[in-house]
A and B are shown apart, each in its own frame.
Chain A
Amino acid sequence: MIEVSHLSYRYGRKRPAVFENVSFRLEPGRIYGLLGKNGTGKSTLLYLLSGLLFPQEGSVKYHGLEMRERRPEALGDLYLLPETFRLPNMSLKNYVRLHAPFYPNYSEQLMHSSLEEFDLTPDVHLGQLSMGQQKKAYLSFALATNTSLLLMDEPSNGLDIPSKSQFRRAVARAMTDERTVVISTHQVGDVEALIDRVMIIGNTRLLLDRRAEDITQRLAFRMVRPDETATPIYSQHTLGGEAGIFTRQAGEDETKLNLELLFNATLTAGERMEQVFTNLEK
């Protein structure tokens, strides 16, 4: 549905490149986890995908439409939830009344169910809500727009502990086979159970773009045993001991995806990780 081809982008001629010749596709029915270190361009990528920024080279096409043209048909079918936002001082009902007409697939039912999930009522006044509650109201609206593409920049920032699981449930409930969700985050623990495709960016390129099930099928995330004979692809000290990523052996149980470990491994042992996937693909 979104086709990114040979995308290159930099903020100004004299500034370093944020992306160089990046290509990928976003498929419907998936929740993508977009990970990367600070300043590697996660938000920039979301802006490029949503047509808020234009690539200097390459293209971003949404259902065949060039995003740089900012056609209402494309913009009406995607929603960007930015990391920082400022909601107007008005009731949520008014906010919905003003914004919903721009989104043809807006679902009042989804709005109510998301608000309910977040313990909010439709008659709240946005100006009287705390920052976290505002975020929940905004998240509810973003989900209710029912757009085919939903881009969320650090959506769990500012949410309290119970709200993080409410957020996961709300996103899972709003997912359909036609919908694509991209979640850019540092809070990997908040989205680990939610995402089904991992994208890691760094050094101006896409370092990893794999389905979560492919990763867990091919890699094992576990503690390094004292009598370990296999050499981990990557390991790091944790409070519980040495955690490592291994190539999963035949008959070995599937392990839970550890995004933090995967992220660190991709950044520090990127070539070895790439090699594992390339070898397995052959």
Chain B
Amino acid sequence: MEKINIRRTLELMRYDLTINRKRYLTSLVLVVIFTAGFMLWAMRFAMHANMEGQVDIDSRSELFVIMTGTTLCYTSLAFLLGLLTQVHDYVLCDKQSRQAFFMLPVTNAERFVSRQLTAVLFLLAMPVLIALARLVSLAFLPLLGSVNAEAVNGFMLWDILTNMKQHFLPENLHFENSGYYASFLFLWGAFTLGAILFQKRSFAKILFCVIAYVLIGAKILMHSLWLGIVPVSPTALWWAHGLLWLVGGLWLGYRLLARTQLTRPGLLKR
């Protein structure tokens, strides 16, 4: 593992945020518009869903649709943000940018940590953006027609987004698993498409997506097995599942960056 110098990492983060500030700001505005659009749609057309208790939640089959929709929305946002800002790849978009970026005297680990910190920054900004989007959608709602009881229930989407954790508890996994995995498959599908469209030659990225698909498949299999046969507490399983994603995601991300940031002939060709 390479050394990480905090000062250099923060300088790199400042460099990234400053160089890409217009792209980041545009993306944030797009996130607000996208979320507001989704909320408007949900408030206008969402089915009647009373979510006061777990019994209500379990009894309503249409909630599954909402869950899938919100998960899709959430992951799409993350994807949209990632794609538009090209959090990992903007600086690699052309030969000149790659040269400038690679000549900066920092380690790959510092580049990775700096990018992760930027991602965390955006993650922290997400609830604020969603709240903002909600305000925007509230302001626009009267333009679309009268607010009825069903539309009011749409606001519960906010609760789903903010209290998502409880829906990912192992006991609920059977319920929302499909939406969860569907959303991730959608995310990675879009990611692969983005990789093909925007980085035609980036085989490493496509390979990374394939690995991600395999991991998701393995995780689905693992869950099915664990839930059925392994006698572990739900909480332990939840933490194991979270930890696996955190470690696996970070490791894969690091390997990807370490791999692509080793400047190879291909990186200087275009």
Task: Check B103–A98 contact: CB distance below 8 A.
Answer: no
Which residues from chain A contact B19 at a C-beta distance below 8 Å?
88, 98
Quick check: B102 and A52 within 8 Å, CB to CB? yes
Residue from the list B18, B268, B269 in contact with A94, Cβ < 8 A: B18
**Contact yes or no, A98 B15, CB < 8 A:** yes
Main secondary structure on A side of the interface with B = loop
Pick the contact of A52: B11, B99, B105, B110 (CB < 8 A).
B99
Interface size on A, residues (CB 8 A): 30
Q: Which residues of B contact A36 (CB under 8 A)?
A: none
Mask of B12-29 contacts with A, CB within 8 angstroms, 1/0? 001100110000000000
Q: Tell whether, in the assembled complex, residue A11 and residue B96 are in contact, meaning their CB atoms are under 8 Å apart.
A: no
Chief secondary structure at chain B's binding surface: helix
Identify which of residues 49-89 in chain A touch chain B, using a CB-to-CB cut-off of 8 Å: 50-54, 70-77, 79-80, 82, 84-86, 88
Are the CB atoms of A11 and B106 closer together than 8 Å? no
Residues of A within 8 A of B15 (CB): 98-99
The reply to whether the CB of B229 lies closer than 8 angstroms to some CB of chain A is: no
Contact across chains for B8 and A72 when beta carbons are under 8 A apart:
yes
A82 to B11 Cα, complex, angstroms = 23
Beyond A51-B263, A52-B268, A98-B14, is A82–B96 a contact (Cβ under 8 Å)?
yes
Instruction: Indicate whether B264 reaches chain A with its CB closer than 8 angstroms.
Output: yes
Q: Is the CB of A72 within 8 A of B18?
A: no
B107 within 8 A of A: yes
Residues of chain B within 8 A (CB-CB) of A86 are 94, 96-97, 100
- Interface: A172 (CB within 8 A): no
Encoded as 1 (CB less than 8 Å from any A CB) or 0, chain B from 66 to 108 comes to 0000000000000000000000000000111101101111111
Which A residue sits closest to B22, measured CB to CB?
A: A89
Taking a contact as CB atoms under 8 Å apart, the answer to whether A75 and B105 are in contact is yes
User: Inside 8 A of B269's CB, which chain A residues have their CB?
Assistant: 11
Q: Given A11-B265, A82-B96, A85-B96, are A98 and B18 also a contact pair (CB < 8 Å)?
A: yes
Residue of B99, B108, B268 with most partner-chain A CB within 10 A: B99
Q: Residue A101 at the B interface, CB < 8 A? A: yes
Q: Are A102 and B104 in contact (CB under 8 A)?
A: yes
Range of interface residues on chain B? 20 to 34
* From B14, B99, B106, contact of A80 by CB (8 A): B99
Is B265 a contact of A84 with CB atoms below 8 Å? no
A193 at the interface (CB under 8 A from B): no
Tell me if A251 counts as interface (CB < 8 A to partner B).
no
Kindly state whether residue B61 has any CB partner on chain A within 8 Å: no
Contact residues, A208-248 vs B (CB, 8 A): none
- Does the CB pair B268–A85 fall under 8 Å? no
Give the residue name and chain of the B residue nearest to A56 (CB). B265
Q: Is A39 an interface residue (CB 8 A)?
A: no
What residues on B are CB-neighbors of A50 within 8 Å?
A: 103
B1-15 CB contacts (< 8 Å) to partner A: 5, 7-8, 11, 14-15
- 19 additional A-B pairs beyond A53-B263, A75-B103, A75-B104, beta carbons within 8 Å, are A11-B265, A12-B265, A52-B99, A52-B103, A52-B263, A71-B107, A72-B8, A72-B106, A74-B105, A76-B105, A77-B105, A82-B96, A85-B96, A86-B97, A98-B15, A101-B7, A102-B11, A102-B104, A103-B105
27 contacts between A and B (CB under 8 A): A50-B103, A52-B99, A52-B102, A53-B263, A53-B268, A54-B263, A54-B264, A70-B108, A70-B263, A72-B5, A72-B105, A72-B110, A73-B105, A75-B104, A76-B105, A79-B103, A80-B99, A80-B103, A82-B99, A85-B100, A86-B97, A86-B100, A88-B19, A98-B15, A98-B19, A101-B7, A102-B8
The 6 closest A-B pairs by CB, nearest first: A76-B105, A75-B105, A72-B105, A86-B96, A11-B265, A101-B11
Query: B residues engaging A (CB < 8 A)?
Result: 5, 7-8, 11, 14-15, 18-19, 94-97, 99-100, 102-108, 110, 262-265, 268-269
